[in-house]
Amino acid sequence: MWVLKAIGLFLAAAVWRLTGSRRFGALLIRALSAKNENLKNIAGILIVRAGKSAEPLLQDALHRRENLPLTLSLLADLGDRMVEKEIQPFSTDQDPKVAEAARQALRVLASNR
């Protein structure tokens, strides 16, 4: 049942915050590909709430093109302008949804200035 998995995500986020262990952060990253929208959203919110510590995990996911375009949006949601240059190449991606998400992500980052 998805509710049990959701509780697992809350626990993983708490342990990640307490221990800093990337393994628990990776569990949340993996949940971004869940079919259940609740799990996907909960994982996304917990990742953004983890802040800077989520950045390397998302960058890895971006390099592997995992969960695009969501990963692009999450990187922008962290608000760190340093990721702009990593997002930039995706703005001309062949997949129009990825390209649009990258453009939107860059726009959000720019509006943060």
Partner 1 sequence: MPFQIVREPIAGPLSFARSDDAAILTQAAVLLAIGAQLRGDNKRFRVASGGPAASATIPDEELKLLGLPPLGESLGRIDSAHNRQLLFSRYKLPIPSPAVLTETVIEDLNVFTGVAKTHFTEGSSKSAIDLMEICLRHRNELVRVSAAAAYSEHSSELDRLIRILDAGTHSTENLVRSIAATALTFAAPDNARLKEMQGIARQSGATGAGHTTMLIHGTWAQNSPWWQPGGDFHTYILQSVRPDLYSKQDRFGWSGGYSDAARALAASDLVTWVQNHKEQGLDLITHSHGGNIVFLATQNGLDMGELILLSCPVHVPKYQPDMAHIHKKVVSIRVHFDLVILADRGGQRFNFPGITENVLPIWFDHFATHNPDVWRQHNVPAMI
* Residue among 5 and 22 whose Cβ is closer to partner 1: 5
The residue whose two tokens read 């919110």 is: 45
Give the largest CA-CA distance in the chain: 42
Instruction: Based on the shown chain and the rule CB under 8 A, indicate whether residue 101 belongs to the binding site for partner 1.
Output: yes
CB–CB of 52/79 below 8 Å? no
Crossing angle for the helix pair 70-77 and 96-111, to the nearest 10 degrees: 10
The residue whose two tokens read 């990337």 is: 22
Quick one: which of 34, 70, 83, 87 contacts partner 1 (CB under 8 A)?
70
Quick one: which of 62, 69, 83, 90 contacts partner 1 (CB under 8 A)?
69
Instruction: Based on the shown chain and the rule CB under 8 A, indicate whether residue 59 belongs to the binding site for partner 1.
Output: no
Quick one: which of 19, 33, 38, 92 contacts partner 1 (CB under 8 A)?
38
CB–CB of 21/15 below 8 Å? yes
Quick one: which of 55, 57, 73, 87 contacts partner 1 (CB under 8 A)?
73
CB–CB of 45/79 below 8 Å? no
* Residues found near partner 1 in the complex (CB under 8 A): 3, 6, 9-10, 37-38, 40-42, 44-46, 48-49, 69-70, 73-74, 76-77, 79, 97, 100-101, 104-105, 107-109, 111-112
